Amino acid sequence: MAPPITKAGRYQIVSELGRGSMGVVYEGFDPVIGRTVAIKTMLTSSLPPAEFEDFKARFQREAQAAGILNHPNIVTIYDFGEDSGVLYLAMEFLEGKSLEDMVKEEGAIPVERIIPIIEQVCTALDHAHSCKIIHRDVKPANIMVLRSGLVKVTDFGIAKMMSMGMTQAGQILGTPNYMSPEQVRGRQIDGRSDLFSLGIILYELITKEKPFGGQNLTTIIYRIINENPIPPRELDWTIHPGLSYVIQKALAKDPDERYQTCRELAEDLKNYKKLGDSVGPSATLVTRVPPIAQAKTEPALAPPPVRQTQVPTRPAPRAPAPPPQAPSPISEQPITRPAQHITVIPPAHAAPPKGSMVPWVLFFLVLAVGVGGAYYFLILKPQQAPQTVVGQPPVQPPPAVVTPPPATDPNAVPAPSDSTNPTAGPGAAPADATATPSVVTTNPPVEPAPAPKPMTVTPPVHVAPKAATGSVRPSAAQTGSLAVSSNIPGAQISVDGKTDPSWRTPFTIPGLAPGNHSVLVVKEGFAIVQRNITIDPGSPATLSVDLAAPSGEINIVTTPPGIDVSIDGQQAGKTPLQKAAKVGKHSFTLQVPGMDPYTSSFEIRSDGYVVTKRIDLTGAVAASTGVVDVRTVPPGASVSSGGKPVGGPTPATIRLPAGRYMLSLSLDGYQTLHVGVEVPTDGTVTVNE
């Protein structure tokens, strides 16, 4: 672990902000300019002296290259230097949260908030790429979202700096989760590698799944090189097909098949809804999938057979929105497919030839088949006696994928489109409302030329007169409910990262799948509360939380120690001091014996935030001092001398320069006492009142 430092060049170290695999980040102060800065130090203690000098020279070149980036969405680098063998960068100080922290604190982030963030990241990366600078380490922790909504990308070039001789055999600095295939292979990379990393971030934000997860580095790297993640829309049918397409294209294994610039990605992301419209472009994904039997034994780079899959360019008609319900917990297991290679063919806008009769022929043919099928089901086919279930909603079968029968069959019924729920045979089990919809794999669909959709006819279903409609849900016996309350009502509830505007305390969430669920209760101005709840089928569960003001921690360390500290006018103790403090700005005072009080401030920016203040008072403490031990009954009195506070509340141990003093002891509801004392050099005098 890197030892703490008190300065870096001319910059004063104020507090430690965080530690990582590459170094330590501090809050610093530039006394020349008079501004707050961020100081990032590099871990170089493991380098031999000769290698350190070589690394230092290359580090400086990379710092200078990153320093030329002048863009509102890129953190500004002010300075580079070395202090006592410690290499450091002085850069812009940012007040905000990293995208990584936002996800941890908020869970699911709405698409409407994700897109502006990614657009600004794209703008920053495009500018860097135009300056021939590749980031190499694009990840949520390096994307800062300020309070104003402005996004800043940090750590340009740091990954390359750290790779210049600091990687030992078998060691990878940082995590490879966001690396591109060419990057983990050690090949030459360009800006499209950063774009792949951005695609991984998009996948995680939209699906809340890791596209290339694994329990160890070997598994993660193998999947990045050889496997494609499940398309986002197959994980969650509510994801727009256009958005799913954008993410898949960004994650193409071959850089030539991705977006070529971040600007292209940002443009499609901004207009993703148009990518699924009938007037929008079409796209074909050409995937090469090895045979299943050979998937585990085939070399990673062996070219497998090719198949083509047409990506839908027209979104299916939306079914009625289901009522708010808790989703299934996010799986920790990676969801991937066998090795695939994706080639994206640019969208085409070709219109059908004018005057073509093919659509009309297909229309009348489908209409005839539909009418014939309806006549068979409604009139010719023997009817079964209707079964009515009283007091329960109708049990509906799960969606099924039906292969259309040959057109020559007079009783053929066209297969239902993706937007319909065809009725299966009797006895079909209901789908789990909270589970991820199952995916039925069929031969790749082939879209005909634009034509009216075929009619879909389903057999009549007899139901109770007032049966509920909407999405299929398990019965009450299969699910449980959760009643959440808080000491301050109106807090937003989320379950497993998903929520609904109506989920505000006190509220009961029905239809939760049995098992463990992560529950967040959030209200502005209060600390976030996280609880793990187990839901039993058919049983209601309750959760009551106490919302409290968010707080952090202040650590004050002085040289020498033993200095009295007051925070916000209240005696807090002696240094070294560790104390809880509410979110916000605070002032503190160090009472140095024989000197004017030292006053400064600190800020707790969020719940759990830790601030460390290190203050060197060497030389400020008088050489000839003594100690006054003051005790009162009742305790809690403040101690002053000459109208200036010197300590308290009692009992208090106060260090003062040697000499005579008239101490005043004050306590609300009691008469002020005046006590004369003589403080001996290096001695102690006791006052009992």
Domain annotation covers residue 558: no
Q: Are residues 55 and 105 in the same domain?
A: no
Looking at the fold, whether 46 and 105 belong to one and the same domain comes out as no
Nearest-10 crossing angle of helices 262-270, 191-207: 30
Answer whether residue 183 is part of any domain. yes
Number of structural domains (the chain) is 4
pLDDT digits (tens, 9 = 90+) for 467-504: 333 334 455 568 899 999 999 899 999 888 678 888 99
Using the 3D structure, point to which of 545, 563, 580 is the last residue of a domain.
545
pTM summary value? 0.43
Would the pLDDT of 561 be above 70? Answer: yes
Answer whether 530's CB lies under 8 Å from 519's CB.
yes
CB 668 within 8 A of CB 660: no
Query: Do 80 and 120 have their domain in common?
Result: no
Whether the CB-CB separation of 86 and 5 falls below 8 Å is answered with yes
Mean predicted confidence (pLDDT) in 556-569 = 88
190 lies in the same domain as 296: yes
Mean pLDDT, rounded, for 600-614: 80
The phi-psi region of residue 25 (left if phi > 0; otherwise alpha if psi is between -120 and 50; otherwise beta) is beta
Peptide bond into 560 cis (omega under 30): yes
Q: Is residue 366 part of a domain?
A: no
Q: Is there a domain that residue 365 lies in?
A: no
Residues forming the active site = 137
Amino acid in position 247: I
504 vs 332: CA distance, rounded Å: 27
Q: Which of the residue ranges 46-55, 443-452, 670-679 has the most confident prediction, judged by mean pLDDT?
A: 670-679
How far is 134 from 142, CA to CA, in rounded Å?
A: 14
- The closest of 198, 224, 222 to 211, measured between CA atoms, is 224
Domain closes at, from 545, 566, 586: 545
Structure tokens at 528: 């976030």
Which residue segment(s) compose the domain that 640 sits in? 624-689
Could you give the angle at which helices 99-106 and 191-207 cross, rounded to 10 degrees?
10
Residues 6+ apart with CB under 8 A from 524: none
**Does 211 map to a domain?**
yes
Residue 115 shares a structural domain with residue 206: yes
Residue 303, domain member (yes or no) = yes
Residue 154's nearest CA partner among 99, 93, 41, 74 is 74
Residues 254, 223, single domain; the answer is yes
Q: Are strands 684-688 and 625-631 parallel, antiparallel or unpaired?
A: parallel
Q: How confident is residue 21, by pLDDT bands cut at 50, 70 and 90?
A: low
- Check which CATH number belongs to the domain holding 673 and give it: 2.60.40.2070
Helix pair angle (111-130, 191-207), 10° resolution: 170
Angle of CA points 8, 11, 14, to nearest 5°: 95
Residue 642 vs residue 97, higher pLDDT: 97
Top-confidence residue, 261 or 424: 261
The contacts of residue 458 (CB under 8 Å, 6+ apart) are 416, 420, 422, 423
Q: What is the CA radius of gyration of the chain?
A: 34
Is residue 88 located within the same domain as residue 124? no
CATH number for 225: 1.10.510.10
Residue whose C-alpha is closest to residue 326's, from 491, 102, 507, 205: 507
Lowest-confidence region among 25-29, 167-171, 308-312, 519-523 = 167-171
Whether 570 shows a pLDDT value over 50: the answer reads yes
CA–CA distance, 233 with 248 (Å, rounded to integer): 10
Task: Please tell me whether residues 52 and 119 are part of one structural domain.
Answer: no
| Of residues 611, 617, 647, 620, the one with CA closest to residue 632 | 647
Domain CATH number, residue 524: 2.60.40.1120
User: In this structure, how many other beta carbons lie within 10 angstroms of the beta carbon of residue 472?
Assistant: 17
What DSSP character marks residue 174? S
Claim to verify: residue 85 and residue 134 sit in the same structural domain: no
Q: Which of 492, 513, 545 marks a domain boundary?
A: 545
Beta-sheet pairing, 652-657 with 638-641 = unpaired
DSSP single-letter state for residue 376: I
Same domain assignment for residues 85 and 100: no
Does 259 have pLDDT greater than 60? yes
Q: Percentage of the chain with pLDDT > 90?
A: 25
- Which residues contact residue 576 at a Cβ distance below 8 angstroms, ignoring those fewer than 6 apart? 555, 556, 557, 558, 561
Q: Are residues 644 and 525 in the same domain?
A: no
Q: What is the pLDDT of residues 298-355, one digit of tens each?
A: 333 333 344 343 444 444 444 444 444 433 333 334 444 444 444 444 444 444 444 4
Say yes or no: 117 and 222 in one domain: yes
Q: Give the tokens for residue 681.
A: 């050099």
Query: Over the stretch 196-254, which tens digit does the pLDDT of each residue have?
Result: 999 999 999 999 999 998 777 667 888 898 899 999 999 999 999 999 999 999 999 99
Mean pLDDT for the stretch of residues 615-639: 79
Q: What are the tokens at 335?
A: 């969801």
Q: For 202-216, how does the pLDDT look when each residue is reduced to its tens digit (9 = 90+)? A: 999 999 999 998 777
Identify whether 22 is part of a domain. Answer: yes
Asked, for residue 589, whether it belongs to a domain, the answer is no
Chain mean position to CA 434: 23
